Every structure is written in structure tokens, then in C-alpha cells.
Structure 1
């Protein structure tokens, strides 16, 4: 992926509170554009080898930024309620099938329990805990393959006509659900839309989202996937 020619501010004007979580493309052949299956043969040739990922200040900024997004009530920690509220924003768009809605809710609950333990109001994830957990995930060959499993559901939630492609307006819904600004969504979308045809397919969406968590290359356009990065 080449560096984006768009200008996107690196820091957001609004301070975000910090909290903690763990993460998740080369995508395999799919039966249709709105179907995605994870592949064990995904290529990470452009990444640091396992054991050496997540060492840069840049990577930490990205993960802090993501933690701040998941911290829906902005109290500085992530709770299961934050997790559910964010997921429900995408479900409430009304574009997921009943089957995908059920799968998405089950996936989020399973992800929480496997990464952070029991669902209760006292189980809170700080930003430092989140950073530590994400560092572990991206350096584990098994865990890293599954860390982006929620992304296809986000895409389907945005894809109004289930065409397997989303427009800039549909992508803006993504940023709206995340509590981010529309103008930042426009810039991020135009950088992702490399061929300039006005749409982004699921494959590219998932690729950019996964790469956000994995790469430490500051020239990759995936750094814009979740909006402007925190300063530090």
C-alpha cells in the first residue's frame, strides 16, 4: 500500500480518555463480495516477525486511539457495557440479517470473555492493560489470525444494499457509530479508495482494519481507519 496523498491530521482536537483491549488480511477467495472467511495462509510478510511487533510509539498511539473509541462513556476504562453499546450502534443501523446479528452479538461476548474474563460491572480494562493484551495478541500466531473477526460484521452493518461494496456515505456511518467526525471519514475513505471508483469492497475494508492493529509503518493508509490518532 502506498502512502496516501490526502492530508489527514494526526491528532484529534478532542482529548480522548484512555483504556485497555486486545486485537485482531490478505483475504482469501470469497464466494461473493459480501462473504469473508479468515485464512490461515494470510501473508504478514510486510510486518515485523512475531515477538517483535508492537514496540513502536506509533503502534501504541494507534492502540490508545482504539481504546478511546471503545470507551463509549469516556470514563477511562473499557467495560463490557461499552463493548455492547458500541456493537448495538452498528446493529441499530438495520442492515444486518437476523443471522448475522445473532452471530455478531455472540462473537462480541465470546471475545470479551476470552480476552478479559467474566462479564460483570467490576471487570474494567485500563489503557495499559489493553496495550499489554494487544501486544500479546499480535505476537501470537494463533490469536492474531482471529483478532479481526469482528470487522466483516461492521462492514455488513454499513452495506445498506448488501452489494459487498460501500460508498463514502455508507463509510461515514462507520465513523458516526464510532463517535468520530464525518470530515475525517471522508478523508479516510478517499485514501482507502485507491482506484477512485467511489466504493470500497469488504476485502479492502477488512484488510485496512486488520493492518491498523498490526503494522508499525507510518506510511500505511490504514493508520486513518479509526480516525485521527491520539498525540501519544
Structure 2
């Protein structure tokens, strides 16, 4: 079994933080989010370390190592999966993925789950970290179009270094973004909220949750997320059941 250290709980230590928390504390949560969405501003918050119930140092155990999957060839079916993934993250529907999409998704989760200011700030930092990682696919671009993503994705996903080192980090980041209370498990409500933030309908969230919850424990673990994401990104079989973990495939 292939194992990679899960760095999700140390993720925020690598985020660049600027000392303006004193200023932002003078603003209400509503005002702060409105400024972010309307003007594209991203406040720099001090990272919030939330308690975790004993699972923060868990080691990711892939059922099949990412490097063991064959190279993706970019079939039309695989491209449909990538379009589906892209459109989930294009939250505002402008045909580009930008930092604003991740900021909006964080706001939607905060509103949906009625998060307090600290947890909302924590969620924002996580989503900004996801954007920073995504933008590296195009050398730190400020926006990525669907065609640019489709063009670059096969080359990126086929790199041994990506599969061995970067993909496990992306799994960890994705899991952390879903694990809203940082307890090391994803509940149905947490998955529903995250699905809502990326425009995935609630009825689809239930199906996806049941698919990812392999042991039927009522929670999704990082190992289960890792397996689902590996099957989604590194396989091209139209009959693979994990094809729909980001909702019905785009045309």
C-alpha cells in the first residue's frame, strides 16, 4: 500500500500572511465579504488552527498508488471529466477560474454553514491556498480558461513528480477544504456545504457522498477521498463509478 504523509494540518503555515488583522477586525463579517466579492480584494488573515480529534497526523493510504495508473491520453471522455471539474471551480460562471471563484466559494460555505468570523477566515485561507496551487498549472496566471486547463492537464497529470509529490498534497488540500470542523472526517453536512459552494446540487452531493463513503461509516476519510480523486483524474474508463464525484459529466 502506497503511503504519503498528510500535511493538511500544517497547510496554513506556508501561507503568506500580512499584519492587517487589526484593521479587518474593525469590519463586520458581512462588510468584509461584500468588499471581497465586489472588488476582488482578498484580506490577509492570521491562520486559525482549529482543533482536530486525533487524526491530524494521519498518513494517506492510497488503494492504488498514483504512479501506478497508466498515463492519461486525453480521450474525449476524460476531457468531459476535466470540463466538469473546471466548471465546478468556475463558481461565477465567467468561463475562467480565478482567485475570485475561490473567494466566492468560501463565502458561500460561510453563509451556508453560518460560520463565525474565525472559521470563515480559516475557510478563506484554505480556498486561497487551493487557488495558489491551481494557478501554478499555468505558471502563476491570474486566470485560467477552460481550454487552457484542458490543454495543460494531461501533461501535468502524467508527470511522475506530480503523481508522487504534488497530487498527494492536492488531495490533502481538497480534504482540508471539505473538513470544515477540522476533525479529520467529512460529514454529510460538510460535503453538502462544499458541494453548494461549487454549484453542485444537493441531490448530487448525497450520491457523491454515498459513493466516497466506501466503508459506509457515515463519514468520508482522507483515504476515501484520495482513492476517489485518483480514480477520477487518472482513469479514462467511461464505466468507472468515480467519474461523477464532481457531479454529472459536462457535455
Stretches of structure 2 that go unaligned for 5 or more consecutive residues are 8-53
Check the 8 A contact 2:135/2:143 in 1, yes or no: no
TM-score (norm: length of structure 1)? 0.68
Secondary structure, in 3 states, of the residue corresponding to 1:196? coil
Structure with more helix by fraction: 2
Question: How many Å apart are 1:132 and its aligned residue?
Answer: 1.0
Q: Which of 1 and 2 has greater Rg?
A: 2
Q: How does 1:216-231 map to 2 (within 5 A)?
A: 216-231=236-251
What's the TM-score, normalizing by structure 2?
A: 0.64
Find the aligned partners of 1:160 and 1:78 in 2 and give their Cα distance.
Answer: 23
* Residues 157-205 of structure 1: per-residue CA shift (max 9 Å, x gap): 4435533222323221221111111111111111222232222212211
Measure the CA separation in 2 of the matches of 1:150 and 1:90: 20
With over 3 angstroms needed to count, the CA separation of the structure-2 counterparts of 1:98 and 1:125, relative to structure 1, is closer
Match of 1:199 among 219, 223, 240: 219
Does residue 61 of the first structure (1) align with residue 80 of the second (2)? Answer: yes
Comparing both chains, which one has the higher relative contact order based on Cα–Cα distances under 8 Å and sequence gaps of 6 or more?
1
1:47 maps onto 2:69 in alignment: yes
Q: How does 1:87-102 map to 2 (within 5 A)?
A: 87=106, 89-90=108-109, 94=115
Give every structure 1 segment of 4 or more consecutive aligned residues whose post-TM-superposition deviation is greater than 6 Å.
95-100
Secondary structure in structure 1 of the residue aligned to 2:220: strand
- Residue 171 to residue 151, structure 1, CA distance change in 2 (3 Å): same
Kindly state the Cα deviation for residue 226 of structure 1 after the two structures are TM-superposed. Answer: 0.8
CA distance in 2, matches of 1:87, 1:133: 26
Task: Kindly indicate whether residue 201 of structure 2 is the aligned counterpart of residue 181 of structure 1.
Answer: yes
Tell me, which stretches of 5 or more residues in structure 1 are unaligned?
Answer: 1-24
Cα gap change, 1:182 to 1:132, in 2 (>3 Å): same
> How many pairs align?
200
Of 92, 98, 104, the residue aligned with 2:126 is 104
Aligned counterparts, 1:14-53, within 5 A: 27-28=3-4, 32-35=54-57, 43-44=65-66, 47-49=69-71, 53=72
